[in-house]
Structure 1
Amino acid sequence: MSDLDLLDSAPVADESKILEGLNDSQKEAVSSPLCNALIIAGAGTGKTRVLVSRIVYLISHYQVKARNILAVTFTNKAAKEMRERIGMYLNANDTHHLWANTFHSTCLRLLRAYATQAGLTPGFLILDTDGQNSLVKRIMLDLKMDIKEIKPSEFASRISSLKEKGMRADDFQKRVNYIKYTNKKKSGTIEKLALVYSAYERICNQENSVDFAEILLRTVELLRSNSAIREIQNERFKEILVDEFQDTNSIQYELLTLLAGKNSHVMVVGDDDQSIYSWRGADYTNMKKFLNTFPDVHQYLLSLNYRSTQNILDMANTLIEKNFERVMLKNLKGNNGTGSLVSIFKCANNRVEELSVAKEIQSLKDQGVKLSDIAVLYRNNYLSFGFEQALTKAKIPYVIYGGQKFFERAEIQSALAYLKILVNKKDDTALLRIINLPARKIGPKVVESLRNISNEHSCSIIEAIEYLHEYVSSSDAAKELKTLYSKVSAFYNLYLELLSKKETMRLHEFVHHMLTLTGLYAFYSEKDAKEGKSEEDNSRYKNLGVLVSNVKEFEASVDQGEVSVDSENSAKVEDQLTLYLTNITLVSGGEINENGSAETMPFDCVNLMTIHASKGLEFKYVFICGFESEILPSSRKSSSGDNSLEEERRLAYVGITRAKEQLVISYANARTMFGKNEQKGASSFINDIVESYENSKNKPYKIVTKI
């Protein structure tokens, strides 16, 4: 026996210590025989502890060598946590030889070892997202494609999606040719995509580089085509464990089948009730497929929840039982007591909802609750803005998790830039942002010429254009300056028209008019459409509508005396515009950074995030806002069929199960969008829950009317 074998076989932990503190279901899963296994682990049921304990148990009880174990998860953070927790039980050598990585890290490790066999040169480079976008842009320009019509980032994303489905450029070209042949008509976009994908694949091979999707696809192709290498991996990995299995896509599932040999065992852990990433290619049906693909699968159910009170769990259980496509029915039971009733805030409108939530958070803060223990969740990013304002007004610090603050979003910055040049024509920073947005053929050379004139005359760029406007009307005007003015005259006329209109319209009406006249509405609507976003999916277009609503609310606050203004000039639109821009600058300046830090702000902050971003997290106090018709479930998902509706229900379930001690669900009967009031009302999911308890004396919720 080698020294390595001696080290691998060394005792690592007392078996009783490994199982200590586990409940019966967890013990059964951890100590299961060497077999294929599917563990359905409900929210908050301790799946990470089960995975860690299982790995230690394999080494301690079954004497499986650490180097023969592969544990795969989805994020570097989860992989690191798993390794650290395993390290508390194992000796250093075992920890070193254990494969506990993300899917990408695992595949990259194999590609590094077998680069030549995979068609790569050792030392190949990895393209990050920016690099991928830059390469696609270069290809599109070489092919004389309009990168303003179709963004390179859109094509880069679609190429990644095709790779995740296992489709190479040649395969995609054949598919495009078939579509052309059967439909007898051309589809310009997919034909262009096929050309770009083909060139992209060729150049990546020439430059010996791989993108993230390529790492997975090339590893699958290597194992699929090279039986010798596949057999080595089959012999190496005796025990394979996969976390968050409901989030695997088709290429990841095939990878698993290729890595597992005849004498290997695979244990997958997941919860189909928390499958919310179908838009990223995740396929929760892989859990059912696993039962059919792998022989003699043992099934285990973890349903004892260590996170939430029973009232919260009852809300979650009642909601999710309406889903029919479930691998295994489960009813979460908790060990934290009944807890307080879940509050359902029935709000007259979104403004009432925002203020009510802020007031409730202020009350919690006054009771000594740490703000970091509080989370405000919402279906879409555009819903965050009102809560940002309400919390700012209440002087409650917050951090937006996994997203930008409202006024930092590109489309809002663009809209504000137009407004800024109307009150300060010396603001070249604002002007340079939008002089060619949307595109109006004012390229870098034109801008450089304008800047040269402004430097010569010590004036702003707008003043340089004014100078050109006056000069070209004279008979001795130079031809090149006339040509330069002809390229910027449309923008200058737009600027003059906006100056005129802002003096005759209410501020919110003017902002809406500006967004239409400048083409920002149309530009961002097209941008959303090209990226496959609807109004419900955090669209830029809808964010512009939220801006109009915010301006209207600002006007109302001025009229009600909530914002101080010079009474002599308060009726002037330009003065209100200046006041508005000043007000939002102060609000934005008081916000903390996305990472939660700021020199002048405390670290204890309320967490704002989408429900998607909250998966895997937990908070003592949770507010799920905008829980209403056409938002959750979204109108688009509701009309897409039962599968989409079930995923929306799973999304709501994930939100509810983030709460540990107190949960507030809120909805508005009316919501202001694009300056107009839209009638909303309670989500059908709320109605389902209320209907389920119609004749019950022990309801887990209470309805609180807010007006």
Structure 2
Amino acid sequence: MNLNQIYTDRFQKLNQQQQEAVTTIYGPVMVVAGPGSGKTELLSMRVANILKETDLDASNILCLTFTDAACKNMQQRLSKIIGIDAFRVGIFTFHSFAQYVLNNYQDYFYDYVDKQLACDIRKFEVLSKNLNQLALDRNLRVLDLNGNFVFFNDIQRIITCLKKANIDSVNLSETILALREDFSQINQIVNAFFEANGSIRSLKALPQLQALLTDLQDLDSEVAQFLALELKNALNLCESENSTKYFTAFKNKFFAKDKDTKFVCKDSLKLDNLEDLAQVYQQYVEFFRQNGFRDFDDLILDLIDKIKRHPVLKANLQEIFQFILVDEFQDTSDAQMQLIKLLSNSSLPDFIPNLLVVGDDDQSIYKFQGANIKNILEFLSTYSTTKTIVLEKNYRSTQSIVDLFSHVIKSSDLRLESFYPQIQKSLQAANSTLQPGDMRLIEAKDPESELYCLLELIKKYAKQEDYSQIAVLARNHSDLRQISEFLISHNIPVSYQSSLDVFEQEVIVLVVKISKLLYHLSRPTLKRVYELLPEILGHPAFNIPTQQLWEFSREVFAKRSRWEKHMDLKKFPDVAYYMHFFKELSNVSQALPYRSVFDYIIGSKTFEERQNLFDTLVLKSPIKEYFLSQEDLESYQSLEALKSFIEAIEAYYATDNFDCLQALNYFEIYENSRLKLNFQFAIGNAQSCQLMTAHGAKGLEFETVIVFNSTQKRWGTAVNRAKLTLPKHLRLEPQPDDVDDLVRLFFVALSRAKNNLVITYAKKDLKNKDNLLLSFLHESGLDSEDFEIGLKTRVHSLQASLLNPESVKDENFDKNAFLRPIVDNFAVSISAILSFIDIVNSTPTEFLNSYMLRYPRSTSKQASYGNAMHAALNHLSKSLKTSQKPLTLEDLIKFYGSQLAKAPLSTLEYNQYLQKGSSNLTNYYNWHAQDFSQYDLAEYNMSSSNLYIEGFKISGSLDRVVFDFDKKRISVIDYKTGKPFDAFDKGSLSSKLKSFKYKLQLTFYKYLLQNHPNYKKKYQFDSAYLHFLDAETKEQSILEYQPSDRDMEFLLQIISAVLKKIKNLDFPDVSAYEKTYYGMREFIEDLITEKI
């Protein structure tokens, strides 16, 4: 079936409202899409129709959404409608779009590109230092009983809000100064009112309240007008409800008594603290600026700033992206909304943006991230010609389920139809293939009964459908962790993803203790050695018999000796062996970067100790063998923890060249903070029963949904514990969740169900106190059922908990299921492809470890040298963009030295490579500096260019892209360290291997540039060049290569064969092949012909 027929067939299946949204391609359009109303199909079909009705390229369409999974889902669906063009459509998250602009318009972002993303520990350290610089009597310096800053979390939250709103410390200080004058006037009026009228207990005081309202309205300040509006709303309710309680609520919310017992605005009491916060904020941002750090949110904010200040950039983006689609519009933050408006607004007369947004105000559940229904309202007011389309047909759920969640959402006061009565949502089930299922409300006697009720429900529905179609939804992870352990203990397969703290993992606790031991062994801090050694050697990883450990300890004590001095290998072989290991490693660790020491600690490296003239003792840590050798859940969890651990320290120091003392400093900062270093870890697979929070379930659907612990206490509104907030009228902070937020969240949970929906709760809590069912379920029409487990089951449960008090382990770990989501998100790079096929220096298994599982590995000294050389030449290119003149040789070498200093090199190695690199850079600079252009693209990152191959996204970067604007040709330059050669496919076998890989690499770069949406129509590929940075002559330094069509065909055959293996989770054993160039070619041939 051709693509036109596919489009026609799918279009005919759309309902009238969906078809209208698909065909109305010009002008602003808002689609209000209830749950299960087919919005993803609508978006895909609209893109297809734009391409059908216009002469535009697929790359001229921009689709923005919120998660990588949503991007992939849209792309896959679109590919079934329009084929390969789906991979050319600009489908991005907001952040990846900002990254795309940065990569493609480097001239505007020269001050951002090289900034390092600040980790949470760095932010904690800087903010703590800033707070300590305040005067001792300032409130923001107050500490709690544990020595932590009382206002720390509030300050961090407020700084994030200010940055998202693009408000700097100067703006904040000016605002506070103006507020002092404004509040002075308001407080006089307010205090005079309460002194004259006292407490308002009767509607007879309405004239006085109206007078207060008039006085506030007469003041010319934003805060006075805000209070006046709030008071007006309260007075209207007082009159309509014949009660003064609404004014009392207004008074309690906005006013309080000061130290002189006068009534004043609550927000006026915050100004001193906010002045101090402005000072802290200024120092915080200044530190980041001076030291080259940035926040995650800074990229979007910087993009907004650049578009505002550079009309040419804005015009270029609008020229490229002539149609814009935004999914999940209700989840947009203020900054994201600002970006949408910048991309879709123009100063041209009669300009109307081709902009479609799809959202549902009833599913706005991300207020804590800055999302707000006000963006929907603002859209309608900003674009007055907006065509509004409401999707009312639900294709997911049965009518009874639709009726239930429609009843629930009516409890919310903050809905779009409250502001625009013409927008009415009356959802109707429209999937005639669905059979009526269960609708149940089960009241368990107690929490234990609720768990057993859940178990019986899952067993029942598992007889009707796959486990994967059963979802248990809860309000938070504390319930889900309990549920997962309980279900696993009863042999129910579960899939659950949660955050784990790196420093709470057993393997990390042990690594940190050993790191501390190595440091203290080389220093006169024996007390710490005595504390650490027994804890370490007693760990099961070291497998030391308890009797040997005890006898060793007793003998050391009897001889008044020291553990680290007593190393008799014959009498105490196991203890002494590891004492030798720790002592030797402690000695060498003083001269090595911690990254190398870490490899010894976990057992990735071994070293030898000479015993005598003939004997050598091989020393190795048991950690890798103990924690990582099994293909089970615990091994992969330990691996993830080790990766996150070492990456976090490297992120903190912005280098992998830090020593043991610096690592210990990081541990101390972490221990003193209240932070968690979390990593995501999942158990189970897609074929298991799905456990998730209501937030996590958004956008998903299941045959059966069980909503657990549906009590007022669990799902109710949280208490706002913020001690410091910004003035309310500024509207810069997300407000705490209220009843409307609770209703929307429960609405999202209920609307995930297709056939069966069960709501459970326990009538008594663990303390035998009454639990209340969620208030809006009382009038739902559901008949409740009682559930209680019997005495026999309770006894069995108690016995099981006593016999196995620790968390249940997953005995049925599915390795392929663990790898599947990793493979699904794998990004293709040429280095990954080469790692798979280069059986001389790697193997498919090592590819798996390095590129999929990301085993921690230190950087070799040769690689560190190469990285520093690349960084220096990248800096040479970028400095030319910013200053329009070449960097001096002296500055280039200085920068090279600074990059080399970040590498994990010893002092001797650093000096050697500093001399070598300086000499080679001098030669290269003298030969080629004049060839650099400000229009070159340096370190050009392809990951945001929206290129795909075989369904996998392409990543990697090109060292330098060079343009010939006159001839409309484009070339690529790749820098190489190491011995140069003057021709391909010549010389020794090792040279042939290297040149073969280089040819594949350069051919891959040609493929990227020929298919890049920005260049494929404007430029013809010219040549690829290797620049050898260690060359001794100018002639040796350049080798040109022009990939042929045969080269391209061969490369794509290799990539296709490798990606097929990766998709199938097939990482073949290559031990039968020779570890030579010819053995590798044989392996490649077998891959392509599928002989292996």
2:759 to 659, 665, 675: 665
Answering whether residue 285 of structure 2 is matched by residue 190 of structure 1, we say: no
Structure 1 residue aligned with 2:697:
614
The secondary structure found in structure 2 opposite 1:664 is: strand
Deviation of 1:139 (Å): 3.1
The secondary structure found in structure 1 opposite 2:714 is: coil
1:650 to 744, 769, 792: 744
Distance 1:454-1:240 versus aligned 2 partners, 3 A rule? closer
Q: Structure 2 unaligned runs (5+)?
A: 133-142, 182-267, 418-423, 540-548, 561-669, 723-733, 789-1092
Answering whether residue 684 of structure 2 is matched by residue 596 of structure 1, we say: yes
Distance 1:194-1:630 versus aligned 2 partners, 3 A rule? same
1:243 to 323, 327, 347: 327
Distance 1:428 1:341 in 2: 47
Distance 1:153-1:318 versus aligned 2 partners, 3 A rule? closer
1:510-547 residue CA offsets vs partner (Å, 9 max, x unmatched): xxxxxxxxxxxxxx9x998x99xxxxxxxx9xxxxxxx
How big is the alpha-carbon RMSD for the aligned residues of Structure 1 and Structure 2?
4.5
The secondary structure found in structure 1 opposite 2:20 is: helix
Distance 1:626 1:149 in 2: 34
Contact 1:172 1:194 survives alignment (8 Å):
no
2:90 partner amino acid:
W
2:101 partner amino acid:
L
Structure 2 residue aligned with 1:354:
451
Contact 1:454 1:460 survives alignment (8 Å):
no
Structure 2 residue aligned with 1:521:
none
Answering whether residue 408 of structure 2 is matched by residue 319 of structure 1, we say: yes
Answering whether residue 777 of structure 2 is matched by residue 681 of structure 1, we say: no
1:177-229 residue CA offsets vs partner (Å, 9 max, x unmatched): 778996564469836741553234413xx53x544211110111111122232
Distance 1:168-1:109 versus aligned 2 partners, 3 A rule? farther
Answering whether residue 123 of structure 2 is matched by residue 136 of structure 1, we say: yes
1:54 to 36, 46, 53: 46
1:122-178 residue CA offsets vs partner (Å, 9 max, x unmatched): xx14645xx432432553576585997259998766544432222234434555777
The secondary structure found in structure 1 opposite 2:413 is: coil
2:89 to 73, 98, 105: 98
Structure 2 residue aligned with 1:495:
none
Structure 1 residue aligned with 2:26:
34
Structure 1 residue aligned with 2:1014:
none
Structure 1 residue aligned with 2:168:
168
1:165 partner amino acid:
A
Contact 2:131 2:280 survives alignment (8 Å):
no
Structure 1 residue aligned with 2:634:
none
Q: Structure 1 unaligned runs (5+)?
A: 1-10, 418-426, 437-441, 475-523, 532-539, 541-591, 598-602, 694-700
Distance 1:398-1:231 versus aligned 2 partners, 3 A rule? same
The secondary structure found in structure 1 opposite 2:330 is: helix
Larger Rg: 2
Q: Percent identity between the aligned chains?
A: 23
1:584-627 residue CA offsets vs partner (Å, 9 max, x unmatched): xxxxxxxx961425xxxxx6321111111111111111110111
Distance 1:184-1:651 versus aligned 2 partners, 3 A rule? closer
Answering whether residue 343 of structure 2 is matched by residue 343 of structure 1, we say: no
Distance 1:118 1:233 in 2: 15
Structure 2 residue aligned with 1:295:
384
1:218-273 residue CA offsets vs partner (Å, 9 max, x unmatched): 11111112223223333333211100000001011111111013242110001111
1:594 partner amino acid:
A
1:79-105 residue CA offsets vs partner (Å, 9 max, x unmatched): 12222332333364x445432211112
2:684 partner amino acid:
G
Distance 2:86 2:537 in 1: 66
Deviation of 1:633 (Å): 2.4
2:97 partner amino acid:
T
Deviation of 1:646 (Å): 0.8
Answering whether residue 281 of structure 2 is matched by residue 217 of structure 1, we say: no
Distance 1:305-1:102 versus aligned 2 partners, 3 A rule? same
Distance 1:263 1:678 in 2: 60
1:620-643 residue CA offsets vs partner (Å, 9 max, x unmatched): 111101111222223538999997
The secondary structure found in structure 1 opposite 2:443 is: strand
The secondary structure found in structure 1 opposite 2:759 is: strand
Distance 1:458 1:335 in 2: 64
1:35 partner amino acid:
G
Structure 2 residue aligned with 1:505:
none
Distance 1:290-1:216 versus aligned 2 partners, 3 A rule? same
Structure 2 residue aligned with 1:333:
428
Deviation of 1:666 (Å): 0.8
2:436 partner amino acid:
G
1:230 to 314, 317, 321: 314
2:342 to 241, 246, 258: 258
1:220 partner amino acid:
I
The secondary structure found in structure 1 opposite 2:297 is: helix
Deviation of 1:55 (Å): 0.8
Contact 2:453 2:787 survives alignment (8 Å):
yes
2:289 partner amino acid:
R
Distance 1:157-1:185 versus aligned 2 partners, 3 A rule? closer
Contact 1:378 1:625 survives alignment (8 Å):
yes
Distance 1:399 1:428 in 2: 25
1:275 to 322, 345, 364: 364
Structure 2 residue aligned with 1:84:
76
Distance 1:27 1:268 in 2: 15
1:60-91 residue CA offsets vs partner (Å, 9 max, x unmatched): 02444433321111112211222233233336
Answering whether residue 120 of structure 2 is matched by residue 24 of structure 1, we say: no
Answering whether residue 60 of structure 2 is matched by residue 68 of structure 1, we say: yes
Distance 1:680 1:456 in 2: 48
The secondary structure found in structure 2 opposite 1:352 is: helix
Distance 1:643-1:255 versus aligned 2 partners, 3 A rule? same
Contact 2:510 2:536 survives alignment (8 Å):
no
1:626 to 695, 709, 720: 709
Correspondence 1:142-153 to 2 at 5 A: 145=132, 149=148
The secondary structure found in structure 1 opposite 2:450 is: helix
TM-score, length of structure 1 as denominator length: 0.66
Correspondence 1:105-144 to 2 at 5 A: 105-118=96-109, 120=111, 124-125=113-114, 127-128=116-117, 131-137=118-124, 139-140=126-127
